[in-house]
Amino acid sequence: MTVKKSFQIALVALVFLGLAIVSAFITMKAVTWSRTVAVPDVRDMNLPAAINLLRNAGLNIKVEREEHHPTVPQNYIIGQNPAPGERVKSGRDVMVVVSLGSQEVPVPQATGEVFRLAQITLRQAGLNLGEMARVDSPSPAETVILQSPPQGAVVQKDSAVDMLVSGGARRTRYVTPDLRGMTLPQAGDAVRPMGGKVLYSGKGAVIASQQPKAGFRLPANGQIIVALGVAAPRPGKAPVPIAPGNQASGAGGRKAGAAKQGF
C-alpha cells in the first residue's frame, strides 16, 4: 500500500470520527433540551393556582418569603425566580414571594395636639407627615387645628397625614408715627389710639429723635423712646393700623430711666 493511499484512508477515518463526535453532541443536546421546560408566569396568581400550574409543567414551587404589598392581595404571588419563559431542567424549584396584603393602620388623633408631639405620634403609628400649613387662629400657637385623613380612618402604612397648624391669634400692628417736633402731650395723644407708651429722656420742649423710627411696624401696646431737645416743632401723624383688632387706650409721656440722650 502506497503512502498516498494510506494518507487518504487516515483522512477519511478522521472525517468519519469528526462527524460521529458532532452527531453525538447534537444528540446529547437534543436529549438535554427535551428534559427542560419553560417556566410559566405565576405572578399575580393565588398560591394554589400557581402550585397546580408549576406541577403540570414538571416543576416544584418553594415560598422564599412573605411580605406586605400595597396592591397585591394576600396569598397572591408578588415575584418569582427563575423568570417567566426561562428554560430550566424538569423538577427544578421555582422560588416565589407571596403577598401578605397591604398593611393598614388607624390614623391617630392629631387635632388639638401640639404639632411637634403630633409628628412623633404619627411616626410611632407608621405614618408620615404630609402637607403642613399655618394660619392665624384663636387656638394656641403650634396647635394642630385640622388633620386629613381624620382620626380613626384606616390607611396603608407609610401614608401621609396633612395638618393645619395654628399660628396664634393675629396681632394688630401699626405704623410708628413721626413724633419729632412734638411736645410730650402731643406725642401721647398721637400714640393713644394704638395703646402705645412714650418714654423720654433728656430736657427740652420738643422731641428731637425717637426709637423706633417713623414708619416702623409696632405692635399694639408698644413703646416708643424719645429724646427731648430743641428741634423745631413738626406736625405729627396719627398711627395707621395695619390689621384690625381691639385697640387699647394709650399712655402719655413717661420718663425713661434706662434711656440715654441722643436717640
Range with the lowest mean pLDDT among 12-16, 137-141, 154-158, 242-246? 242-246
For residue 238, pLDDT beyond 70? no
| Better-predicted residue by pLDDT, 169 or 113 | 113
Which helix H or strand E contains 98, and what residues bound it?
A: strand 93-99
Yes or no: say if 96 and 50 are a contact pair by the CB < 8 Å rule: yes
Distance of CA 41 to the CA centre of its chain: 37
Cell 396664634, residue?
168
What pLDDT is stored for residue 28 in this prediction?
55
Instruction: State whether 81 and 110 are in the same domain.
Output: no
| Better-predicted residue by pLDDT, 121 or 235 | 121
Residues 86-112: pLDDT tens digits?
A: 999 999 999 999 999 888 899 999 999
End residue of a domain, out of 102, 129, 145: 102
For residue 201, pLDDT beyond 80? yes
What pLDDT is stored for residue 96 in this prediction?
95
Instruction: State whether 124 and 187 are in the same domain.
Output: no
Q: Is residue 4 part of a domain?
A: no
- Give the CATH number, domain containing residue 188: 3.30.10.20
Instruction: State whether 115 and 77 are in the same domain.
Output: no
* Residue from 200, 136, 205 nearest 167 by CA: 136
Mean predicted lDDT score pLDDT of the chain: 81
For residue 253, pLDDT beyond 70? no
Instruction: State whether 132 and 61 are in the same domain.
Output: no
Instruction: State whether 66 and 127 are in the same domain.
Output: no
pLDDT level of residue 34 (50, 70, 90 thresholds): low
For residue 260, pLDDT beyond 50? no
SS (H, E, C) 22-38: HHHHHHHHHHHHHCEEE
Instruction: State whether 98 and 108 are in the same domain.
Output: no
Domain count, the chain: 3
> Dihedral of CA 215/217/219/223: which sign?
negative
What pLDDT is stored for residue 172 in this prediction?
75
End residue of a domain, out of 142, 166, 190: 166
Q: Is residue 187 part of a domain?
A: yes
Instruction: State whether 133 and 183 are in the same domain.
Output: no
The percent of residues in the chain predicted with pLDDT above 90, rounded, is 57
Which helix H or strand E contains 119, and what residues bound it?
A: helix 115-124
Q: Is residue 183 part of a domain?
A: yes
Over residues 237-243, the mean pLDDT reads 42
Residues 121-176: pLDDT tens digits?
A: 999 999 999 999 999 888 999 999 999 999 999 999 899 999 999 988 877 778 89
Task: Give me the amino acid identity at 40.
Answer: P
CA distance 117 to 85: 53
Structural domain span for residue 190: 173-255
End residue of a domain, out of 102, 120, 138: 102
What pLDDT is stored for residue 85 in this prediction?
92
Going from the C-alpha of 11 to that of each of 2, 7, 21, 24, 78, the distances in angstroms are 14, 6, 15, 20, 60
Q: Is residue 56 part of a domain?
A: yes
Instruction: State whether 108 and 92 are in the same domain.
Output: no
